[in-house]
Structure 1
């Protein structure tokens, strides 16, 4: 699909844009983990050249282009494949090596698609919110619990429950000074969709951490933070999606802690050091 679009607009491209388009066609697999800055550097062009190319292809920006690009890459399917390229007959060493590669590529891809403006808006929304309700199902819920635990450190009034009924009751008490954070890889989890609709009806701002591409959740949330979408639906262990979600959460939290760093957090750090390395009297 991408290659077809590039060939259709070929006659309308500048010399530099044509160079980038040819690189894209020849390096589709590598591009899924590449940032716009890296692509520009490899082709000795400016990022504005790449953005103009994306615009001529009908995309709003590089992130939208990558959503389509990654979705168009064919997935390898086999009865001998447990997930991704991990096979049932792989040795322990092979499995460990492939898991490491999957984790690394997931982190790289997540960082390459981050929307800095959306991330910054999400950070400010968390800081300004009085109450926060977090919800996710399965492993996404576990990532939500980690986010809850860390937000408590900066004294946020935050709740993350695995029970959607409890979360529904909590969201019904919120207003436009509060916040709902939904974590869902698919973007179509029924309970998550229902909770976002409830938040929208009550004019409660929301943040969605979900995979790239169109989904009910991405269309309902006030702010969307994208995670990697390269994980087959049949996977038994959500390695890529979980690592990607954790990467997004770590970016959020690290920037939050920097902006909220004060004497109280400094004291916490010093007390932790004292407990870990007690001085001899």
Structure 2
């Protein structure tokens, strides 16, 4: 639960004053929220239900019920972890990564992978959009596509990415990589790309996100939050795996055609 609440706290800088009030209450009273109704919470905070629902969406949930479900599941996971035999420090993290990769592989949609590969074939130019810890994943994928003969790029500078987004067209493809699907810069770029009718693919680590509503295709990888103190050690391997499969499919399809 502590890890989940720490992640939610990172959204404070993106919220309005009322939304911050809701988030502060959620962080301070997670057990109460998990067992409360939307109307009851609105009465306690003297805030409209619409404000609470909007806050839930702003911090990465589809709505209040999705928030409650996540809080309950996180609490159940804590009880499960406490009850099972303890693993060594390294073994516990090996198990976490294994679970992430297995879940991601089990939920791959081959038809969607092929559709994403077709987007690559149909595009004159491909730009990867990723910031922070997601950037290395973009650089690695762009390098592989470049060596396969595809014209593409992955840039580091935010202003440069914004400029590129404003110049791409419907004949191009943008691939956006974001662990949360809620990163402010990525959402900004996605909105620009949508307005310009650019084909878009999102690779995210959360099932519910605002980014999903701004793109053509979304792939969801399973990523568990992992912090050592304030250091974010959450894995990005599942994001890379999905990109690898899209690229492999695109290269193989090109050979056949």
TM-score bracket, shorter-length normalisation: 0.5 to 0.7
SS at match of 2:134: helix
Is 2:255 the partner of 1:253? no
Alignment match, 2:151: 157
Matches within 5 A, 1:1-281: 71=70, 73-75=73-75, 94-231=88-225, 236-240=231-235, 242-261=236-255
Residue 261 of structure 1 deviates from its aligned partner by 3.5
Residue 229 of structure 1 deviates from its aligned partner by 4.4
SS at match of 1:207: strand
Deviating more after overlay: 147-156 vs 249-258: 249-258
How many residues are paired up?
183
| Cα RMSD (Å) | 2.8
Deviations 1:63-109 (A, max 9, x none): x9xxx79845224569xxxxxx7xxxx9xx92322222122111101
The change in CA–CA distance for 1:140 and 1:258 in structure 2 (over 3 A counts) is: same
Larger radius of gyration: 1
Unaligned runs of 5+ in 2: 1-61
Unaligned runs of 5+ in 1: 1-63, 79-84, 263-281
TM-score norm. by structure 2 comes to 0.64
The 8 Å contact of residues 205 and 239 in structure 2, kept in 1 or not, is answered as no
